[in-house]
């Protein structure tokens, strides 16, 4: 059996036991609130990871690309929500997937976008926190106009969807709880407005990893979407959604040099391995491009990737100072800021389970 010492670097390492524990935590919480999870597969982009999270069940999933929809359909998933605003140049591809048997649900946030789409259930995107796209929950006129445009085009106005991405900027659990209630109440109010206008709108779909974990009630909600919880990352740890030890994903790197005059250790994992995501820069603790750990995954005190070139990572003490003695050839693991972005830099997961033995290699796809 190969070990982490045998892998070429940089390499993406996945702790299977941590994935299972993270999945169990969220599913248990949602079960107490009586609402099912619609797993967002954009983080993992891997059928084996989805199977682990869902216990092998081909449950409803969320995707952010048609490539994800096609790949997961081929893996046996049939109920697929494409949760990115749809534009009709993608219609032929969506129709081809539907003809193969996919129950594909689309998303729009304007009457203009609804034109030319036919034969699909479609959700209307709601903006509950000013974070991204969507119709304001109290803009009943626009909501009804979109629903009418959908039905005129030959689609079903299936309900509403919102994503509380603003929760990533929360400074406390209390703030996340408040955003979660704002997300829930806004989506439910929008659905009720559609129902009063005569549209069935059975679906109320909400979701972000922070709000999914800290919602106190999900009354009126029919499903919760989340994806990054599968791995977690430093951004989630930075807002106390998880602990650093819950992070299931890391990048294996090798020490390739030193600059003693600068207090640097050079590793072979730059931004091509870690991504350019600097999501923790806005948080209380800036983790640079990632937290540096030993080969067993234990963080080395105040050691981070402070800078990154394409293939070089610069490791140093946070705030300066002499780094530890790490000879050339030393293997390290780096915890990422954003699991989705770091995962996207790699084509496979090297699977471990609390040890250095590599138990499996799971393919990860990319593209759109």
Confidence (pLDDT) at 319: 86
Confidence (pLDDT) at 1: 85
Q: Are residues 74 and 221 in the same domain?
A: yes
Q: Are residues 208 and 319 in the same domain?
A: no
Confidence (pLDDT) at 84: 98
CATH of the domain at 359: 2.40.37.20
Q: Which residues of the chain have pLDDT under 50?
A: none
Q: Are residues 223 and 299 in the same domain?
A: no
Q: Are residues 110 and 158 in the same domain?
A: yes
Q: Are residues 120 and 191 in the same domain?
A: yes
- The answer to the question of residue 23 being in a domain is no
Q: What is the pLDDT of residues 94-153, one digit of tens each?
A: 999 999 999 999 999 999 999 989 999 999 999 999 888 999 999 999 999 999 999 999
User: Which of 230, 259, 279 is where one domain is finished?
Assistant: 230
How much is the CA Rg of the chain, to the nearest whole Å?
22
Strands 249-259 and 11-15: what pairing?
antiparallel
Confidence (pLDDT) at 132: 86
Confidence (pLDDT) at 309: 97
157: CB partners within 8 A, 6+ apart: 122, 124, 146, 147, 150, 151, 194, 199, 200, 201
- The answer to the question of residue 96 being in a domain is yes
Q: Are residues 43 and 109 in the same domain?
A: yes
Rounded CA-CA distance 81/62 in Å is: 5
- The answer to the question of residue 22 being in a domain is no
Q: Are residues 288 and 226 in the same domain?
A: no
How many structural domains are present in the chain? 2
Q: Are residues 69 and 153 in the same domain?
A: yes
CB 179 within 8 Å of CB 226:
no
Structural domain of 131: 35-230
- The answer to the question of residue 84 being in a domain is yes
- Helix ranges restricted to H, the chain: 16-33, 47-53, 66-74, 91-99, 111-114, 140-153, 173-196, 209-214, 234-238, 271-274, 339-343
CATH of the domain at 97: 3.20.20.10
What's the pTM? 0.96
What is the three-class DSSP state of 201?
A: coil
Confidence (pLDDT) at 70: 98
DSSP result, 231-295: T--HHHHHTTSS-GGG--EEEEEEEEEEETTTTEEEES--HHHH-S--GGGGSSS--TT-EEE-T
């Amino acid at each position: 059996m190969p070990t982490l010492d045998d892998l070429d670097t940089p390499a993406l390492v996945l702790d299977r036991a941590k994935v299972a524990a993270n999945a169990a935590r969220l599913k248990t919480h949602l079960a107490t609130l009586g609402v099912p999870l619609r797993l967002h597969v954009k983080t993992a982009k891997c059928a084996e990871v989805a199977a682990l999270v869902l216990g092998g069940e081909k449950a409803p999933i969320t995707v952010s690309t048609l490539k994800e929809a096609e790949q997961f359909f081929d893996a046996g998933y049939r109920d697929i929500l494409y949760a990115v605003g749809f534009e009709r140049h993608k219609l032929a591809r969506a129709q081809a997937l539907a003809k193969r048997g996919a129950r594909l649900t689309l998303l729009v946030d304007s009457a203009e976008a609804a034109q030319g789409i036919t034969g699909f259930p479609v959700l209307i995107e709601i903006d509950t926190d000013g974070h991204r796209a969507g119709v304001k929950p109290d803009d009943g006129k626009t909501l009804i106009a979109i629903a009418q445009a959908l039905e005129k085009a030959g689609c079903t106005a299936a309900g509403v969807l919102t994503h509380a991405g603003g929760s990533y900027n929360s400074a406390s659990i209390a703030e996340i709880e408040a955003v979660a209630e704002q997300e829930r109440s806004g989506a439910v109010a929008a659905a009720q407005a559609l129902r009063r206008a005569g549209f069935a709108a059975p679906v109320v779909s909400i979701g972000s990893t922070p709000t999914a974990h800290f919602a106190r009630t999900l009354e009126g909600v029919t499903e919760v979407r989340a994806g990054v919880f599968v791995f977690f990352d430093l951004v989630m740890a930075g807002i106390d959604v998880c602990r650093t030890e819950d992070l299931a994903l890391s990048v294996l790197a090798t020490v390739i040099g030193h600059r003693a005059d600068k207090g640097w250790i050079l590793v072979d994992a730059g931004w091509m391995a870690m991504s350019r995501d600097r999501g923790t820069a806005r948080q209380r603790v800036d983790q640079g491009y990632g937290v540096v750990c030993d080969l067993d995954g234990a963080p080395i005190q105040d050691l981070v990737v402070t800078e990154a070139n394409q293939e070089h990572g610069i490791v140093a003490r946070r705030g300066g100072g002499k780094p530890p003695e790490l000879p050339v050839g030393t293997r390290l693991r780096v915890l990422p800021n954003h699991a989705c972005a770091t995962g996207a830099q790699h084509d496979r997961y090297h699977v471990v389970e609390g040890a250095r033995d590599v138990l499996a290699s799971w393919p990860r796809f990319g593209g759109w």
